[in-house]
Structure 1
Amino acid sequence: MADARKPSVLFVCVHNAGRSQMAAAFLTHLGGDQVEVRSAGSAPADTVNPAVVEAMGEVGIDLSAQTPKILTTEAVQASDVVITMGCGDACPIFPGKQYLDWKLDDPAGQGVDAVRPIRDEIERRIHSLLVELRPART
Structure 2
Amino acid sequence: MSADTIFAFDFGVKRIGVAMGNTLIRQATPVKVIAAIDNATRFAAIQTLLDEWQPTLLVVGLPMHPDGTSHDMTARARKFANQLHGRFNLPVELVDERYTSAVISAKRGEVIDDRAAAIILQQYFDAHFSRP
TM range (shorter): 0.3 to 0.5
TM-score normalised according to structure 1 size: 0.39
Ranked by relative contact order (alpha carbons within 8 Å, sequence separation 6 or more), the top structure is 2
TM-score normalised according to structure 2 size: 0.40
